[in-house]
């Protein structure tokens, strides 16, 4: 007997059925529920150089000289034979209070054709592309007697090739802003390059900020890397959860994501230490997050700082917490207020008069780490204040069903709770059949705000061992992702949103803190992991109605949805076995199934993966399948994720 399993009985039935042969059954007669239209989104924070040295297109590392208080890290002296120069930080000469130091360049001898100056090696290289315009912005001053020329060039690491160059003069004793365009010609792409700034005569010049941008997504100033944005847009995300993760909390209260310090001109952004061991420029600040959402046609899921920081400090609920609650209210006003509000007017001044749509606000992040158990009271204080002013907003509590009862929020009913899962493929394969089946359908809704599969249960993503592995996961991990995404989709009536984390990794060994990560890149190029393609297959192919599915005599896990407008039935099947699985697929209750279906397959050996050098080693393949009937045979390749798109009448 084959047994149909409903949303709430997947695990039990999968184990108890007695069908003849591996079978996957879809109950297409009556939808089992409505699938959340917001199910697939993205999560982001500053980790692994996701922004600085990643999506944020700035090419100069330590552009404002604030990364170290003692040395101008990432900057080096350029002096050639007879020319001589020195560099040093100079905190007594700063452009303003935010950029509280400067780089002093002193050229004592400048010989024609022998450059003397300073160079920056970028974020593991400056990417040079052919026929490309780079926009440089330089804040500088000089001693009153300096009347020389400043040359700004993109030069090969060995100094032999100048890819683009431009000059300016007119330095004064007062600070001035200089803007230049550097244009490359017909060069071969390379990241083995530096930005070099030289003087043509002896003198002393101070730099407050040196910025260099390539062309950005939609040509937005202070914008995003084009190739990475394209990869994100291709995932069809419905929301973006930001700015964390740990990044919203900071190690300490002072180093939290303090949104007011991340807006306005870049020369007014001091930056701050990020909890992942390096300094953030805050170049990608609150407005840029919102514009990023807009560019992807995705909604913001805004996490506000809720009075807990990672080193175990919390703000006492009550009077002490009040300023932070007020800050969150003002942040929401910055996002949603019209130009007649104080913070809406500030947003307009910053360049975006139109308010952004906002439906979800998350109060904190992973507050189960707060062992003082203050979260219930802190959440309540935020809840009451935000609901009083913005009753339409849905508030997300950060302690979900898997955390100890005594840590969860009891004094208010959160609209949504956030659950995080970093598990191995084997753990996900075990957990997924029963996942969410006992969740209370009367709420709170569930947001799986961070999750990812890794290959080896013994190597946790945050441990040193993980950093010794390649930054992005293999096909084995994608299988774990697949079974868990199928589980979430079966339960997409209560799992309203989910997002893989972390999203981005700069693959240079010194740049990363966590693995696995979805998308890898260096200065010049990027690639998607097998997990990226698994997510893309899921997120781009989903209907609005959940169909019950059942399995018997198979380790295959899957899910099904239907598009109520077109009638299309979308099956997702994951074969975690090292052997092919010949499956009987039964579609019960569908009207007029077309005999042709389209198929998207991601398959490979468990260890197969993608990388900078082999970016498309494992990618989905699209094909057509003939002979579709209410019962048909389909053979899943070993270690595979398959999307079957069946045409039926609505």
Q: Which positions touch ligand AHR (CB under 6 A)?
A: 45, 47, 244-246, 365-366, 450, 501-502, 514
Smallest distance, ligand AHR to C-beta of residue 648, A? 39
Tokens 């009536």 correspond to what residue? Answer: 493
d(CA 308, CA 314): 4
Exposed/middle/buried for residue 18 (C-beta within 10 Å: 0-12, 13-18, 19+): exposed
Q: Toward ligand AHR, which CB reaches closer, 80 or 427?
A: 427
d(CA 198, CA 473): 43
Residues 6+ apart with CB under 8 A from 218: 295
- Give the residue closest to ligand AHR by C-beta: 245
Which residues, in sequence order, are bridge partners of residue 196? 119, 153
Smallest distance, ligand AHR to C-beta of residue 247, A? 6
Q: Toward ligand AHR, which CB reaches closer, 356 or 484?
A: 484
Q: Toward ligand AHR, which CB reaches closer, 260 or 460?
A: 460
Q: Are strands 640-646 and 569-575 parallel, antiparallel or unpaired?
A: antiparallel
Smallest distance, ligand AHR to C-beta of residue 503, A? 9
* H or E element in which residue 10 lies: helix 10-16
Smallest distance, ligand AHR to C-beta of residue 474, A? 19
Smallest distance, ligand AHR to C-beta of residue 310, A? 9
Smallest distance, ligand AHR to C-beta of residue 53, A? 17
Smallest distance, ligand AHR to C-beta of residue 407, A? 15
Q: Is 136 helix (H, G, I), strand (E, B) or coil?
A: strand
Smallest distance, ligand AHR to C-beta of residue 244, A? 6
Q: Are strands 445-454 and 416-424 parallel, antiparallel or unpaired?
A: parallel
Q: Toward ligand AHR, which CB reaches closer, 168 or 422?
A: 422
Q: Toward ligand AHR, which CB reaches closer, 154 or 446?
A: 446
* H or E element in which residue 536 lies: helix 530-539
Q: Toward ligand AHR, which CB reaches closer, 45 or 295?
A: 45
CA angle, 194 then 47 then 251, to 5°: 120
Closest by alpha carbon to 196, among 278, 117, 262, 263? 117
Q: Toward ligand AHR, which CB reaches closer, 24 or 292?
A: 292
According to the 3-state scheme, what is the secondary structure of 384-451?
A: HHHHHHCCCCEEEECCCCCCCHHHCCCCCCCCEEEEEEEEEHHHHHHHHHHCCCCCCCCCCEEEEEEE
Smallest distance, ligand AHR to C-beta of residue 423, A? 13
Q: Toward ligand AHR, which CB reaches closer, 40 or 276?
A: 276
Q: Toward ligand AHR, which CB reaches closer, 364 or 558?
A: 364
Q: Toward ligand AHR, which CB reaches closer, 303 or 478?
A: 303
d(CA 22, CA 96): 70
d(CA 508, CA 123): 9
Q: Toward ligand AHR, which CB reaches closer, 33 or 250?
A: 250
Contact call for residues 567 and 591 (beta carbons, < 8 A): yes
Contact call for residues 280 and 336 (beta carbons, < 8 A): no
Smallest distance, ligand AHR to C-beta of residue 276, A? 8
d(CA 636, CA 618): 16
Smallest distance, ligand AHR to C-beta of residue 514, A? 5
- Per the structure block, which two tokens stand in for 441? 């359908």
Backbone angles phi, psi at 231, to 5 degrees: -65, -35
């Amino acid at each position: 007997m084959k047994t149909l399993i409903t949303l709430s009985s997947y695990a039990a039935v999968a184990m108890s059925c007695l069908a003849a042969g591996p079978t996957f059954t879809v109950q297409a007669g009556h939808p089992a529920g409505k699938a959340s239209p917001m199910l697939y989104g993205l999560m982001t924070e500053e980790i692994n150089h996701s922004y600085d040295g990643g999506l944020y297109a700035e090419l100069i590392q330590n552009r404002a000289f604030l990364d170290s208080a003692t040395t101008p890290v990432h900057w080096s002296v350029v002096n050639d034979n007879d020319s001589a120069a020195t560099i040093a930080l100079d905190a007594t000469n700063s452009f303003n209070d935010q950029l509280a130091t400067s780089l002093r360049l002193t050229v004592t001898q400048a010989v024609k054709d022998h450059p003397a100056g300073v160079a920056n090696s970028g974020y593991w290289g400056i990417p040079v592309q052919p026929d490309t315009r780079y926009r440089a912005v330089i804040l500088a001053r000089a001693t009153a007697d300096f009347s020389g020329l400043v040359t700004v060039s993109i030069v090969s690491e060995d100094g032999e090739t100048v890819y683009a160059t431009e000059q300016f003069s007119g330095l004064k004793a007062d600070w001035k802003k200089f803007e230049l365009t550097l244009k490359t010609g017909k060069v071969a792409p390379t990241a083995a390059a530096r930005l070099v700034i030289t003087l043509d005569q002896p003198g002393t010049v101070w730099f407050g900020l040196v910025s260099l941008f390539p062309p950005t997504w939609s040509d937005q100033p202070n914008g995003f890397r084009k190739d990475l944005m394209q990869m994100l847009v291709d995932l069809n995300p419905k929301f973006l959860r930001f700015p964390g993760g740990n990044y919203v909390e900071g190690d300490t209260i002072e180093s939290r994501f303090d949104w007011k310090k991340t807006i306005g001109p870049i020369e007014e952004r001091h930056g701050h230490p990020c909890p992942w061991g390096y300094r953030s420029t805050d170049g990608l600040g609150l407005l840029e997050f919102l514009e990023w959402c807009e560019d992807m046609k995705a909604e913001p899921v805004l996490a506000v700082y809720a009075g807990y920081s990672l080193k175990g400090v919390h703000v006492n609920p009550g009077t002490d917490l009040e300023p932070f609650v007020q800050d969150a209210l003002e942040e929401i006003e910055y996002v949603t207020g019209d130009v007649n509000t104080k913070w809406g007017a500030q947003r307009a001044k910053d360049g975006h008069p139109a308010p952004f749509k906002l439906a979800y606000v998350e109060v904190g992040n992973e507050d189960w780490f707060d062992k003082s158990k203050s979260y219930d009271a802190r959440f309540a204080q935020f809840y009451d204040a935000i609901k009083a002013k913005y009753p339409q907003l849905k508030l997300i509590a950060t302690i979900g069903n898997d955390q100890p009862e005594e840590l969860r929020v009891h004094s208010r009913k959160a609209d949504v709770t956030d659950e995080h899962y970093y598990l191995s493929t084997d753990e996900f394969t075990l957990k997924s059949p029963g996942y969410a089946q006992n969740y209370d359908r009367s709420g709170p809704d569930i947001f799986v705000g961070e999750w990812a599969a890794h290959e080896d249960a013994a190597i946790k993503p945050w441990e040193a061992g993980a950093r010794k592995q390649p930054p992005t996961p293999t096909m084995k991990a994608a299988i774990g992702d697949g079974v868990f995404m199928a589980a979430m989709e079966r339960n997409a009536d209560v799992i309203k949103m989910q997002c893989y984390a972390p999203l981005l990794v700069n693959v240079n060994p010194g740049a990363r803190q966590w693995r696995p990560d979805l998308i890898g890149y260096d200065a010049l190029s990027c690639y998607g992991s097998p997990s990226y393609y698994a997510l893309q297959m899921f997120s781009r192919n989903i209907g609005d109605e959940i169909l019950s599915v059942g399995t018997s005599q198979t380790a295959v896990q899957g899910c099904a949805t239907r598009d109520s407008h077109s009638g299309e039935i979308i099956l997702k099947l994951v074969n975690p076995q090292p052997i092919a699985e010949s499956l009987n697929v039964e579609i019960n209750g569908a009207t007029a199934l077309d005999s042709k279906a389209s198929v998207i397959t991601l398959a490979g050996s468990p260890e197969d993966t993608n990388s900078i050098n082999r970016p498309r080693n494992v990618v989905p393949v699209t094909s057509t399948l003939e002979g579709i009937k209410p019962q048909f045979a389909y053979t899943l390749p070993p270690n595979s994720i398959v999307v079957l798109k069946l045409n039926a009448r609505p």
